[in-house]
Amino acid sequence: MSLMDESATALSRLIASRQVSPSEVMAAYLRRLPVLNDEINAIVSPRDPDELMAEARALDDQPPMGWLHGLPLAVKDLVAVRGLRTTYGSPLYRDHVPDTDDLVAARLRVAGAIFTGKTNTPEWGHGSHSFNPVFGVTRNPYDLARTAGGSSGGAAAALAARLVPVADGSDMMGSLRNPAAFCNVYGFRPSWGLVPADAEGDTFMATLATDGPMGRSVEDVARLLETLAGENPAVPFGQPRATYADRLDINLRGLKVGWLADWGGAYPCKPGILDQCALGLKVLEELGAHVEPLAPPFPAEELWQAWIHLRGFLNAGSKGALWADAEKRALLKPETVWEIEFGRTVSAAQVYAASVTRSRWYAKAAELFARYDLLAMPSAQVWPFPAEWRWPQVINGRAMDTYHRWMEIVVPVSLIGLPSLAVPCGFGAAGLPTGMQLIGTFGSDAKVLTIGEQYHRATRWPERRPPAIESREAEHLPA
């Protein structure tokens, strides 16, 4: 077994106790990268191997800077990293090398991580399929003919392939949750504001997206959340840093879970997905929880209209200057052009109406959480689909009217900033993974992670390694 099979927490402890050195871990990473990444394409803009080994050796005899001391991490390509090519998946930034770190990269660096490259993402993070004209498509380690999801698809695929021990991601419309389901790992969207944004552009109205952690264990997710969280004085609505990883024990007896399923059919799911989620719910019941099916608590179409108006409005604002330049517009992906052009049609009255819908849904969700400790839904409506598709256009005979309607099931969480842990639910008949969301009330991040940890101990789905990866390892890597 490679050192890269270990969890980030285990590697951190091995390095801290000097049973393993950072250079040994880096050597294990560098052995795997060319063997596995060429087909998966999860890690892009890889750094020079000699530079990485030199950086790791320099840490061998140093006391740990933080819990990530000496661990090889690749940062999502939507995050600027000082001195490392950061493209945002766009040909407009094909050769862009930032002079400074974004906040996520800065916090990972302070915790001791060694940056090995970036993880692939769709252009501008638009869409839950990680392909772009700069680097191409990221493939699913469980089936190389299929997508790894997105926009944190590179991160999820790298985790599943044991190319990183833990990973950062971001989530506006399921970008931490959908790829986690597709790649049999954990993705956690924290309560909005817990992981602060950078002080760029609008930081008052843009409250739909957040950065967050991904991992092969809930403990790793909790530890990385501790690293990423904490106030940024330069942006509003901050929340204080807290601890999560050292308080993961709980008895689930008596826990009340509300199962929202496919929202009364409003969110069509491919055959087998609800069945796999039912198996996940059964695990919670065996741990002592009571699961109760719920009727749709709010009109799904109202949530969708609020969502697309707010999302379009924000994208038109943040990307409008690119669209206004005809030469740059020609290099934008069609989905990004759609977002901007739709957003330019949104009126002030529509923005206000969307905010009212959002407020009403938050109040209704509060009523649910007065009765239930947790809500649950699928993390994805479809199985990992063919890598050559742009996006699924039909689900169960229902046509998808936008490029992102097929992942609408994540909207109820994103619209009101709730914490949501995407947990694996095993594999369907075709051997493909899926998962479900464990959703808590705002600010209940610690509770959601603690429940997720009990689920992980009972299932340990991410320990089921991708067969294609095992085959490549056996053929090309020493035992």
Active site residue 444: no
Work out whether strand 374-378 and strand 256-259 pair parallel, antiparallel, or are unpaired: parallel
d(CA 267, CA 410): 10
Active site residue 76: yes
Two tokens, residue 117: 């490259």
What is the dihedral angle through the alpha carbons of 95, 99, 103, 108, rounded to the nearest 10 degrees? Answer: 80
Q: Where are the beta strands (DSSP E) in 254-325?
A: 256-259, 290-293
d(CA 399, CA 119): 31
Check 12, 23, 130, 175 and give the catalytic one. Answer: 175
In terms of Cα–Cα distance, which of 225, 127, 206 is closest to 421? Answer: 225
Two tokens, residue 273: 């997905």
Check 12, 23, 76, 130 and give the catalytic one. Answer: 76
Q: Cβ contacts of residue 47 below 8 Å, gap of 6+?
A: 84, 115, 116, 117
Check 23, 128, 151, 444 and give the catalytic one. Answer: 151
Q: What length is written for the chain? A: 479
Two tokens, residue 365: 């969700």
What amino acid occupies position 203?
T
- Residue 413: its H or E element: helix 411-416
Dihedral over Cα of 63, 105, 11, 66: its sign: positive
What single-letter DSSP state applies at residue 383?
P
Residue 211 burial (CB count, 10 A): 28
d(CA 37, CA 432): 20
Q: Where are the beta strands (DSSP E) in 237-343?
A: 256-259, 290-293
Query: Which residues are 277's β-sheet partners?
Result: none
Q: Are 36 and 164 in contact (CB under 8 A)?
A: no
Work out whether strand 394-395 and strand 398-399 pair parallel, antiparallel, or are unpaired: antiparallel
Dihedral over Cα of 195, 136, 437, 73: its sign: negative
Active site residue 23: no
Q: Cβ contacts of residue 432 below 8 Å, gap of 6+?
A: 140, 142, 143, 146, 182, 383, 384
What amino acid occupies position 424?
P
Active site residues: 76, 151, 175
